[in-house]
Structure formats: C-alpha cells, structure tokens
Structure 1
Amino acid sequence: MRRTSPKVNVSPPVMRWLRESSGWSLEDVSGHLHVSVNRVSQWEQGGQAPTLNEVKRLAKAYRRPLAAFFLAEPEEEQPLPRDFRRLPGGARPLTKRTLLAIRKARNLQMISADLMKNLDLTTGTDVVGAQLTDDPEEVAVEERTRLGIPVAEQRSWKDAYEGFRAWRDAIEERNIRVFQFPMELEELRGCALMDHTPNAIVLNSSDIIQARTFTLLHEYGHILLHEPALCTPDRPVIGETHEARVEQWCNRFAGAILMPPKDITEDFTRHGIDGVGRIANRYRVSLATVLTRLVTLNLIAQERYQAEMRKLQRKGAVSTEQGGGGESSARKAQRERGEVFVSLVLENTRRGYITHNEALDYLGVKVKHLRELTKPTP
C-alpha cells in the first residue's frame, strides 16, 4: 500500500518569501511539482498545506535547507546592490540562476568573515578609498602600483587566464573575496557586495575570460568608491546623474589600469587600427576593451569606434563560455571560491575550528577531493 506524505504546517509568508527570493514564479512551482497554480497559491495564502515530500522537493529546487521552510517568519535579507546601468523601473527581476549565485556569494562572504575571526585576522578591506571627483586615470596609476603588477609582467603572461588569475590574486591580497559563478549573461556581468566585510566581488563565469578581467577591475573601482552595484550588459545610463557618473568612472578606471595611456598610445602608434587584435593579446583583454580605451583617449574617432564595434558584433566576438569543463570538484572550488577562501577553510579545519563536514560543505567538495586542495594549482 502506497504511503501518503503527511501535510506540514509552513508559514504562508515564509512559503512566498522562499519562492520569490529564489526567483521562482507560481507557474514555475506548478510545473516543477505537477500541481495546479491555485494549489501553490493556496499554500501562500493559508488555504492549504503542502505535503512533506512537496516541501522537500522545493527545498532542493530552491537550493535552501529544509529547516528554512519551518521558520516562524521570513528572514530579513540584504537588498540587492543597485543597478546603475538601467533606468529606474526598467529592470526585470533577476532569474533563478543569477539570484542563486548572489545568494551563494553572500553566504561565502559571511563564512569567510567567521573563518578569519577564528584565526584573529582582520576582515576590513585594505584599500585606499577614492572619490568620484578624483581623476580615474590618476587613481589607476596609484592602484596598479599598490596591486604590484607592472606592465612588463602583464605582457609576459602566457594567456588571458593567467592574466585573470594575477589580477584576482592581487585584489584578494587587499582582503577582498572574488567569487565566480554561472549567471544569466544577459542579466549580470558582476557585482560588488559591500554590506559586510570582507567586501566581495562576484563575477559571471559564463562570460569570456577577457570580459571577466575587465569586470573584475570595474567592480574593484566600485569598492574604491564604496558604491555597491549590479553591473549588467546594458549600456550605461547616459547623462550627469550620480549613477551614470559612477559607471563612467569605474569604466574609465578599469580601462586605465589595464592599459596605461602611455603604453597603449605607443602600441597603437606602432600597430594602428589593423593591429587592435595584437594589442588586445598584448594586454590580455578583449577587442572591445581596447577599442573603448582608444576612443576614450581620443586615439580614434567616435565614428570609427562605432564601426569597429559593429564589426565585432557581426563576427560574434562577444561570446560566452561556461568554463571548467572536465575539472575536478577540488579545482572547481578553487576557481569559484578563490585560493584565499580555500586556504581559510583548510587552516580552520587543521586547527579544529570547524569540522571536516563543515569544510566539505563550505568548499562544495567530497572527502576524496579534500586532499587535492592542498596541492598547488597547476
């Protein structure tokens, strides 16, 4: 005889909060559980109660602990960073995968703070703040020196992946966590989380590596300004609003730190517009980033810039990549969470501050992969 799953009492506001904060619609839940939309709606209005099996399936779908469904009331969550690139009221709600990535990053940010406190490490971000009135070109010169990456070293990197790792390591040394998870590329390239320390940068691992490098430096600019924001693929807001000025500053800063004006001018004088690909490879950045830098420095006219960008779009130069194909879960943990976070977990485990099960949970790995994390990244 088939046993019927018992009904469970779940607070209607909690049911609605968990669904909405996970990016699911009533129709999504209806289709996932194969129940009517009215039945799902009744759970959130108190007219009916879900079964335990239904709650378990929702917990798995929402990537939430089962215990979250039995809270007395919704937990207060930090609001998302502002979206500076879209006009107020013009942005669509973020979807499941993007919201999950931000939630995971925030959770790891809080875990990182606890792990650092266990080791008597400060969680404060080690940066010299900037003002919107500061010249981003001058700030870029100062920050490149602080990050310790000379142009000669940048030009010696074997590929864009080595470049990304170098910039990421340098920023993480400033006590900023850098996480990267797959998100919907049409929604988000990255964001800066500054509600807690250590501050964190979240990057979209679905983006090409060169674009991730630019976004990493762009978000670093947001941290310098202490202006948390969502960075979407949409064009920045035009005008003199505060939001537009912040985006323009961060874009100028990222371009300047990646391609100092003297160096990029010399390269362009030598190679010209037909050598843009060679220049991009020299700095381990995208063609679009080089073209934007050239027009910013008035090395090419706006009309030429737009024409070259149209060529890139026709060629499909702006593509996506999922990355990590065939990698072990240990290497995935390092790529997604970063070397610093992994090291904090391993040291806390070694000293007995957290259990092995907690370490496995924080890193998203199985027991057999834990030893692999003690080996250097090839």
Structure 2
Amino acid sequence: MAVQVPVSPDVLQWAVERSGKDFETLVHAFRNLPHWLSGDTYPTFPQLEKFAAATYVPLGRLFVEVPPEEKLPISDFRRIGGAADRDPSANLLDTIDLCRARQDWYRDYMERVAAEPLPFVSALASNVPAEDAAARMRQDLGLGPFTRPRASTWDLAFSSLVDSVETLGVLVMVSGVVGANTRRKLDPAEFRGFTLSDPYAPLIFVNGADSRAATIFTLIHELGHVYLGESGVSKPDHSVMTENEHERWCNSVAAAFLMPAGVIRQEYRPVSPGTPSFSKELDRLAFFFKVSALAVLMRLKETRIVEFADFSEQFELELARAKAASESRPDRSGGNFYNTEGRRVSKRFARAIIGDTVGGDTAHRDAFRLLGIKTTSTFNELGSRMGVA
C-alpha cells in the first residue's frame, strides 16, 4: 500500500483557492480531493507532487501547518475606500515574479554596457498638473500636442504606442496569460497592469486579456507611475474611485495624454446628453482617440466641455454599455507565436538577451527560461525575426 503523506487540510484548501481553478475541475483530476480536505485520508507523495503542479504551489509550501500569508511584493494601487483587501492570485504573483526576473537580467545587462540612468524615471511628482505631466510625456515620446493614434485599427494604435514607449527605454510586456502557459489566463477584473520602476530598467506589464481600449489607457497610466518612480499593481477603472492619490493622478495624466483638452474641445460635436445621438458621439470620439466611450465621457466632464444636468444617469448608461460590450468581446488569445512573442516579453528585452546569448555572455538555459521557449530552433527563429541572430 502506498504511503500517505499527512498534510494540513487547511493548507490544501488554501492551495485550491489560490489556484483560481474550478473545484470540480480539480476533483476530476484528484478524485480523493474531498477526502483530503475533510482529513479522512491523505495523498501519497506522487499525488501531492501532481497536486502542487496543478495548483501552481511550490511543493514545500504544502508541508506547513497553517496556510502561508502571501502579500504582493510591490505596492497595491487598486485599493477602493471601504473595500476589503483581496489576496493576490497565483497568476498575478507568478507574473510579477517572472517580470522581476527579466528586469533583474536587463538591469545587469544595462550596467555591463555602461548605460546611463534614464532621465525620465522619477522625473515628475504627483503635484504636477496632469496637463503639464501629459505634455512632458508626449514630448519625451516625440508626440506633438495634437498627435493622436492615427492607425486605422485599435491594435495598430496600441502597437504604435508600445513601440514609442519602448524606444524611450521602457520594457513593455503585454500578455493575457502567465508566461507562455495559455491555460493560465490573467483576469482583468483582478488587475490591468503593473509597473516595476528602475532607473536603468523600468518595466510596464499590461494585461493583454483586457479590451484594447483598456490596454491603451493602462499603458499610459503605467507610464505615469514610471515618471513618478514607483512600483505597484494597478487597475485603472472609471467606474470606481480609488483612494490612492497617485492612482488618481495617473488616471488624469493618461486621459490628458490620450485626449488633449484642446483636441477634444475641437473635435466634439455638440449633442444633447442623455440621447442616443450623444452615445453615438461618444463612440465616434472613442474611436478617434482610441479610448473607451466611458473615458471620453469622463474627459468631457473633467474639461467642462459638456455640462450635464444629471451626470450620474449618463454615467450609469455608459457603464452598462461598457459592461455589455465586455461580455460580448471575443477572446484575442492565440495567433502566430513569433508575432506575439516580441510583445509578450518586450521586443527591447528579447533583442538584448538574444544578442547577449549569441555573444556568449548569457547562458542559453537562462535565455530560454526568461523568454519562455524550449528549443534552440525556436530561439534562432525568434532571433531572426527580431533582427538579432
């Protein structure tokens, strides 16, 4: 008879909840799981190894007596007044850990090539007016005050902005899954992005599972955190009011960056609020600026371009439309691996680590691990696509 391993049912329950997986799915894989959780029986060591892998928990953590208390390794900017803290998911924690490992490598690389600290990191403070901060950021990115995303599609507009931010020196990683594991999807309801600030290797992660309008706003929002010189997890959301002053500032800066006051004032075609025509005008401006209709609504109010008799009613209407659109949005996952890999790990990072590996200064196993690839042929093809190998 196989030897059973006495582990705490509370710890096993913690692992189940932390994984974010449906309980029935886990029971299908481990038919004795209900008995393990009740303490009637224990798993064998091989079963425990498989359970740890299935729940994304390091095996050693399953041998503690009480569930570990996990905290975010960076600041949490998502707090809402009166709301209870939410434990971070395994997917979020593992994504942050992977990005920190990539950032550590890139920082060492930048120091080896004698790079200078980037002047825009920590260049601003939250008492700088949002319009002034947005103007500074647009200038640094080489965008004039009246430049908007001119691409014909949301994806092209987003890619153009990502390339501009990377040219500035920021690592921008966009993915809707943990690493390269397509079974571990990230949840926009938990977070939309995070920033790992560093004078040599600032990093922005954008949750690619979100809508394209949201990812565009999140990218510039997180860039605001880079200019403040702070690291943290964000969830830019026009439907709630965060208690974090810096988060509100980054929201305002992103809105001013993407919808300059002078441009939106010039482009807005006056329509009576509360009518179907007004919602259509919001949609038109949303496509023009490549943001959400809700973001346009907030900007029109913030700049006092439109005076609302009952803003809350209009807000609830647009919020309902946004939620309906979100529920019907198709899944954007998948696509050609080589076309998405550069965006997932950052083109700037990929080119640096591939070139350094080809040059003999980084081991292939380290490059494979950080890039999320397994074979030399994939590495060589990716290098060729990146113009490196």
TM-score bracket, shorter-length normalisation: 0.7 to 0.9
Calculate percent identity across the aligned residue pairs.
22
Alpha-carbon contact 2:79-2:85 (below 8 Å) kept: no
Contact 2:294–2:319, Cα closer than 8 Å, also in 1: no
Moved more, 166-175 or 282-291: 166-175
**Partner Cα separation in structure 2 for residue 216 and residue 109 of structure 1:** 18
Q: Distance in 1 between matches of 2:333 and 2:20?
A: 27
Q: Which residue pairs with 1:98 in the alignment?
A: 92
CA distance in 2 between partners of 1:217 and 1:54 (Å): 43
2:356 paired with 1:362: no
**Which letter maps to 2:287?**
N
Equivalent of residue 307 in structure 2, options 270, 289, 301: 301
- The C-alpha deviation readout for 1:49-88, integer Å capped at 9, x for no partner, is 9614522541354175x799899xx9x9862422343236
Write the distance in 2 (CA, Å) between the matches of 1:63 and 1:323. 28
Match of 2:337 in 1: 329
Seen in structure 2, the aligned counterparts of structure 1 residues 149 and 195 have a Cα distance that, compared at 3 Å, is closer
What residue identity is the alignment partner of 1:361?
Answer: R
The reply on whether 1:137 has 2:145 as its aligned counterpart is no
- How much does 1:124 deviate? 5.2
1:358 to 1:268, Cα distance in 2 relative to 1, 3 A? same
The alpha-carbon deviation at position 178 of structure 1 amounts to 1.9
Matched letter for residue 97 of structure 1: N
Secondary structure of 2:325 counterpart: coil
8 Å Cα contact 2:217/2:254 also seen in 1: yes
| Residues 46-85 of structure 1 aligned to structure 2 (within 5 Å) | 51-59=45-53, 61-62=55-56, 79-85=73-79
Tell me how far apart the structure 2 counterparts of residues 169 and 289 of structure 1 sit (CA, whole Å). Answer: 23
RMSD of the alignment, in Å?
4.0
Q: Is the 8 A contact 1:236 1:244 kept in 2?
A: no
What residue in structure 1 maps to residue 233 of structure 2?
Answer: 230
Distance 1:124-1:50 versus aligned 2 partners, 3 A rule = farther
Q: Is 2:385 the counterpart of 1:375?
A: yes
Letter matched to residue 53 of structure 2: A
Q: Separation in 2 of the partners of 1:152 and 1:372?
A: 39
* The one of 273, 279, 294 aligned to 2:285: 279
Structure 1 residues 337-368: Cα deviation after superposition (integer angstroms, max 9, x where no partner): 12111111211111112233332222123434
| 1:184 matches 2:187 | yes
Among residues 217, 222, 227, which one is paired with 1:219 in the alignment? 222
Please, which moves more after superposition, 302-311 or 143-152? 302-311
Relative distance call for 1:34 and 1:100 in structure 2 (3 A) is: farther
The 1:372–1:195 alpha-carbon spacing in structure 2 relative to 1, beyond 3 Å, is same
1:7, 1:51 within 8 Å by CA — same for their partners in 2? yes
From the superposition, tell whether residues 8 and 332 of structure 1 become closer, same or farther in structure 2 (CA, over 3 Å).
farther
Write the letter of the residue equivalent to 1:282.
F
Amino acid at match of 2:171: R
State whether residues 350 and 386 of structure 2, in contact with CA within 8 Å, keep that contact through their aligned partners in structure 1: no
SS of the residue 1:173 aligns to: helix
Contact 1:30–1:40 (CA<8 Å) still a contact in 2? Answer: no
Structure 1 runs of 4+ aligned residues shifted over 6 Å read 6-10, 27-30, 66-71
Letter in structure 2 aligned against 1:337? V
CA deviation vs aligned residue, 1:89-129 (integer Å, no higher than 9, x gap): 61322333333333332333223324434544457574352
| Residue type of the alignment partner of 2:95 | A
Tell me the distance in 2 between the aligned counterparts of 1:328 and 1:262. Answer: 40
Say whether the 8 Å CA contact 1:188–1:231 is kept in structure 2: yes
The separation in 2 between residues aligned to 1:342 and 1:317, in whole angstroms, is 34
TM-score for the superposition, normalised by structure 1: 0.77
Q: CA deviation at 1:202?
A: 1.9
Structure 2 unaligned residues grouped into runs of 5+:
177-185, 273-277
| C-alpha distance 189-302 of structure 1, shift in aligned 2 (>3 A) | farther
Structure 1: where are the runs of 5+ without partners? none
Q: In the alignment, does 2:264 pair up with 1:264?
A: yes
CA distance in 2, matches of 1:303, 1:244: 29
8 Å contact kept, 1:217–1:254: yes
Partner in structure 1 of residue 180 of structure 2: none
Whether the 8 Å contact between 2:122 and 2:226 is mirrored in structure 1 is no
Cα gap change, 1:344/1:54 in structure 2, threshold over 3 Å: closer, same or farther?
same
Count of residues in Structure 1 that have an aligned counterpart in Structure 2: 359
TM normalised by structure 2 equals 0.75
8 Å CA contact retained: 1:81, 1:193: no
